[in-house]
Amino acid sequence: MTTTSLAAEAAPSPRADFADSPVIRSRRRIDPTYYWMVVPVLALFAFFITLPALVGVFFSLTNYAGYGDWKFIGLSNYVNIFKDPAVLQSYIFTFVFALTTTVVVNIVALAIALGLNAKIKWRTGIRTVFFIPMVLSALIVSFVFNYLFSNTLPVLAERFGFTPLATSILANENLAWLAIVLVTVWQAAPGATIIYLAGLQSVPAEIYEAADLDGAGSFRQFLNLTLPLILGYLVINVILGFKGFLGTYEIIVGLTGGGPGMATQSVAMRIFSGFTGGDYSYQMANAVIYFLITLLISVIQLRLIQRRGVSL
Amino acid sequence: MASSTLTRPSLPATKAPARSRTSGREGFKINWWLTALMLVASLTVLLPLYFTVAMALKSPDQIGTGTGLAWPTPMNWENFAAAYVATNFPRAFMSTAFVTVFSVLGSLACSSLVAYAIARNWNHRFFRGSFVYLLSAMFIPFPVIILPLIKQTALLGLDNPAGVVFLHVLGGISFNALLYIAFVRSIPVELEESARMDGATTWQVFRKIIFPLLAPMNATVGIFAFLGSWNDFLLPQMMIADPALQTLPVVQMLFQGEFNTNYSLAFASYLMAMAPTLVVYILAQRWVLSGVMRGAVK
């Protein structure tokens, strides 16, 4: 398709007899209206999205504090970041959190999707309930769970004499991140469930009938039929989910604010702190590194998809 | 990924989600065990919501040192009135509504125009390049641009809800255009040609023929834009300089002060901020789910 049209562009003369046809004409000389549709939006996009990215890279090479004078300091910000244990900790937290959440979200979402796709009573009503978290503000949801974790749960634990939970897990350096995983799963599972439902509905019912005749049980059917057939949807969910969870911000703000100490401070939170913390250029260098890491992950993921030949 | 989504000619799941039994197994009895399991599982969603409502209706005395799970008697409806005043609810509501309405309209208009122009001139280098440029921006995580972006918008006097609208529309354009382009490609060019023969300009063709045909995708993009804008916290919090213009999610930070112990007021306020999306969703759930589902198939 590309080659024929390029030929038509380059050498219109052999087709001159068709020149009056609107199709050919529009192929050869593009209606300026189309440019008017794209160019203003592209210009705004470049100005509001691309320009800040470039400005950020520029300032990462300076000692700009967010105000006042600045001068070039080369790559010192980058060097310092690699020596900063607080930054390293935020990266470890962010990746462990994103990986755990991705796994849990996908297990939960797939289970819900299988349940909703099976022959159950009141399917529409149950489905409505399961998708409610999708429409709620993550921040407000986190505030609600904050109270549940720090007040309700300890009171309940005390009542039943279960001491490990008698103090708020949000105040526990080692457990607080699990609360964040839990709320993130609560919030993100419906989105992943929808993608799995779309996948499950693309699986023809006949193959299950065949499997039933062959005497395959439900679990074997799931493992050998359903899972391979919805693999593409699983890949999409893992990629979208992981990328999203790396940037988690609101739920952490609502639950722990990055604490206790800095135990649950994500990379995104550290970068945002550069706005008020006086280390603007330092956090911009952090942002550039963060960008390179996410880019690397995206490239690896795309490669894996292409190699496996997974497509939707 | 991009090419596989783009070559997809039709949208099979368009009408699937509503009561679809396509892959349920006909002739099998209703699975009551599974139904019971799903009902129990749905409590994980319902319990926090019940808890929010119960808390919002309690007096500070009723909260006391309990779990907060008990239903209050008598119910304290005046919490809502107090929260209404404390958060200046009407002002925050109007600000959120402003951001949401214009983000939705802007997303629909800009994304569909760009997608139409790109899809219909796919053979042209400029338009295909624009597409790649827009898509490549999807790889830039938001934290990377946020600091310079805020300085830039402040310089331009866009540190207000209008600036947030700009960013919501532009931030969503990559994904929305992707959805639209796949859809525009499924619309036969012949439909436009007869109109062009009658002398319609490209604008007219878009407005009178293409945009109405995009209705299902408009619903999908509109729903995502609505939910994203209404619930957004990051951009309004960082961009809007005047606290009086803040949106509903950001206003809830008011109750996070260290000395605030008035939980009933806080929960009444949370409920009021969550209610609009919740009500819209419950009333239009079939429509919302089919719209979101259409986005998921991409």
Contact (CB<8Å) B45/A52: no
Is A175 part of any domain?
yes
| Distance from the B155 Cα atom to the nearest Cα atom in chain A, whole angstroms | 12
Confidence band of A154 (pLDDT split at 50, 70, 90): confident
- Which pLDDT value is given to residue A245? 92
Statement to judge: residues A185 and A287 lie in one domain: yes
Could you tell me if residue A275 is inside a domain?
yes
Three-class DSSP category at B213: helix
| A66 domain residue, yes or no | no
Q: Whole-model pTM?
A: 0.83
Torsion sign, CA atoms B202, B208, B210, B215: positive
Summarize pLDDT for B216-243 with one digit per residue, the tens.
Answer: 888 888 988 999 999 999 899 988 988 8
Q: Give the DSSP letter of residue A11.
A: -
Q: What is the per-residue pLDDT for B11?
A: 39
Residue B154 forms contact with A (CB below 8 Å):
no
Residues A148, A250: one domain? yes
Interface of A with B in 229-288 (CB under 8 A): 236, 243, 246-247, 249-250, 253, 267-268, 271-272, 274-275, 280, 283-284, 287-288
pLDDT for residue A226: 83
Query: Which tens digit of pLDDT belongs to each residue from A245-275?
Result: 998 889 999 898 887 878 888 898 888 888 7
Please state which of the ranges A94-103, B107-116, B132-141, B254-263 shows the lowest mean pLDDT: B254-263
Q: What is the pLDDT of residue A205?
A: 79
SS3 A62: strand
Cβ within 8 Å of residue A309, ≥6 positions away = none
Residue pointed to by tokens 């599974």: B34
**Is A231 contained in some domain?**
yes
State the pLDDT confidence band at A31, using cuts at 50, 70 and 90: confident
Does residue A64 belong to any structural domain of this protein?
Answer: no
Of all residues in chain A, what percent carry a pLDDT higher than 90? 26
- B262 at the A interface (CB within 8 A)? no
Given this model, what pLDDT does residue B23 score? Answer: 44
ipTM of the complex: 0.83
Shortest CA gap B266–chain A (Å): 9
Looking at the structure, tell me whether residues A186 and A44 fall in a common domain.
no
The answer to whether position A225 is within a domain reads: yes
B20 shares contact with chain A (CB less than 8 Å): yes
Q: Supply angle C-alpha B225, B231, B233, rounded to 5.
A: 115
Under 8 Å between Cβ of B137 and B155: no
Q: Are residues A129 and A228 in the same domain?
A: yes
Give the lowest-confidence range in A67-81, A89-103, A115-129: A67-81
Q: Mean pLDDT for chain A? A: 82
Structural domain includes residue A100? yes
Do the chains contact at A247 and B263, CB–CB below 8 Å? no
Confidence of residue B260 (pLDDT cuts 50, 70, 90): low
Query: In terms of domains, do A44 and A93 share one?
Result: no
Mutate which of B25, B26, B38, B286 to test chain A, going by most A C-beta atoms within 10 A?
Answer: B38
Q: CA torsion sign, B234 to B240 to B244 to B247?
A: negative
Mean pLDDT of chain B: 83
Residue A117 sits in the same domain as residue A19: no
Same-domain status, A84 and A178: yes
Q: Looking at the structure, do residues A254 and A224 belong to the same domain, yes or no?
A: yes
Indicate the residue among A11, A31, A59 that finishes a domain. Answer: A59
Q: Are A294 and A307 in contact (CB under 8 A)?
A: no
CA distances, A85 to each of A91, A240, A258, A301, B298 (Å): 10, 29, 16, 28, 41
A236 lies in the same domain as A129:
yes
pLDDT at B173: 92
pLDDT tens for B111-159 read 999 999 999 998 899 999 999 999 888 888 888 888 889 889 989 999 9
Closest CB from A130, A138, A271 relative to B143: A271
Segment 39-68 of chain A within 8 Å of chain B by CB: 41-42, 44-45, 48-53, 55-56, 59
- Are A54 and A188 found together in one domain? no
Domain count, chain A: 2
Domain enclosing residue A6, as ranges = 2-59
Write out pLDDT tens, residues A276-308.
777 888 889 999 999 999 889 888 888 877 766
How many angstroms separate the CA atoms of B145 and B152, rounded? 11
Let me know whether A24 and A138 are in one domain. Answer: no
Asked if the structure places residue A54 within a domain, the reply is yes
Of B6 and B80, more confident: B80
Question: What tokens appear for A31 in the block?
Answer: 């209606």
Same-domain status, A124 and A221: yes
Residue A142's domain is classified under what CATH number?
1.10.3720.10
